[in-house]
């Protein structure tokens, strides 16, 4: 998760009335721009760019030869849970659904190996969560919404991968 997600959510909750400046050193891979605009210098982006996304959005930092920011439009609950994960402590009291999944996996001997964006159809991304049991060779995976996969990756402290063959 990046600071862009938190900044955008704050702006979203305030009705995009905030006028503060935002600077980033990342590059951008927009999900709905023309091909000639596919990669832009994010340092020139400001609140005007963030306002383009009227729905709650998670901004992922993608690292390869350079750093990019990938905006994924999600539901409000997903962004709130991601922001909450920055402040939660695993006290065992009333875990959310993502901590519940992590705890269930740990108790059953499984672990999340990674999560990955696997495809894009029109403007919708799809993800998979990959699981492994200690001492076994097999890895299995399940389909997931990107917002759930991102939250699971955050709670389980695993890699979130992006297949660069997917056209953005």
- Residues 6 or more apart whose CB falls under 8 angstroms from that of 120 comprise 126, 166, 167, 168
Q: Read off the pLDDT band of 143 (50, 70, 90).
A: very high
Q: Read off the pLDDT band of 52 (50, 70, 90).
A: confident
pLDDT value at position 30?
A: 41
Number of Cβ within 10 Å of residue 12's Cβ equals 19
Paired tokens of 50: 């963030």
pLDDT value at position 93?
A: 64
134, exposed or middle or buried, with CB in 10 Å at 0-12, 13-18, 19+?
exposed
Higher pLDDT residue, 118 or 62? 118
pLDDT value at position 167?
A: 57
Domain architecture of the chain: domains with CATH: 3-77 (no CATH), 88-162 (3.10.690.10)
Indicate if the alpha-carbon torsion angle 47, 154, 101, 98 is positive or negative: negative
Distances (CA, A) of 67 to 9, 27, 60: 22, 6, 10
pLDDT value at position 43?
A: 46
Q: Calculate what percentage of the chain has a pLDDT beyond 90.
A: 23
pLDDT tens for each residue of 73-100: 898 888 888 888 877 665 556 778 888 8
pLDDT at 103 over 50: yes
pLDDT tens for each residue of 2-50: 677 878 888 888 887 754 455 444 444 443 333 333 334 444 456 777 7
Report which of 55, 87, 90, 91 is spatially closest to residue 71, judged by C-alpha positions.
Answer: 55
Mean pLDDT of the chain: 77
Distances (CA, A) of 155 to 79, 119, 152: 14, 23, 5
């Amino acid at each position: 998760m990046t600071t862009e997600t938190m900044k955008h959510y704050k702006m979203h909750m305030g009705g995009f009335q905030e006028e503060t400046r935002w600077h980033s050193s990342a590059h951008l891979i927009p999900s709905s721009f023309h091909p000639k605009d596919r990669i832009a210098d994010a340092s020139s982006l400001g609140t005007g760019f963030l306002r383009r996304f009227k729905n709650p959005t998670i901004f992922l930092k993608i690292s390869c030869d350079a750093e990019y920011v990938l905006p994924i439009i999600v539901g409000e609950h997903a962004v709130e849970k991601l922001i909450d994960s920055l402040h939660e402590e695993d006290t065992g009291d009333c875990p959310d659904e993502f901590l519940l999944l992590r705890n269930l996996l740990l108790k059953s001997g499984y672990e999340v190996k990674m999560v990955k964006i696997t495809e894009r159809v029109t403007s919708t991304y799809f993800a998979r969560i990959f699981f492994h049991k200690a001492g076994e060779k097999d890895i299995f995976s399940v389909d997931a919404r990107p917002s759930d996969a991102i939250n699971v990756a955050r709670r389980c402290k695993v890699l979130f991968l992006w297949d660069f063959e997917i056209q953005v």
